[in-house]
Amino acid sequence: MSNLTSLMRCVGELPPSRGARRAHSCVLADHVGPCDLQYELHGQTHVAGFENYQQALTAATLAIFSDVHEYDCVLIRAGTEHSSTQPFSSAITWHQAQI
């Protein structure tokens, strides 16, 4: 686990007055290829797949700033084209499916 935490970097953070939630990434901003967004919602872990890092980053930002749901453990990681995660065409599509 120490290798994983050394690769994680914070990519978004709410101030303490808004809940102090954070989004982390295990991939670099110049990552090419699909990315997965892993998060906890209502005590269950979920994974959403995106075509690229920018869409996953936008979804992570939407998650931590959400006033509708309290997402926990928001993490971007490298995905695969053959991933069994639920694929989304964009962060907005993912966010609308959560409402």
Tens digit of pLDDT for each residue in 1-46? 444 445 789 999 988 888 889 999 999 989 999 999 999 999 999 9
Report the relative pairing of strands 22-25 and 9-13 from DSSP bridges: antiparallel
User: What gap in Å lies between CA 37 and CA 12, rounded to an integer?
Assistant: 13
Give the chain's end-to-end CA distance (angstroms, integer): 33
Tens digit of pLDDT for each residue in 67-81? 889 899 999 999 876
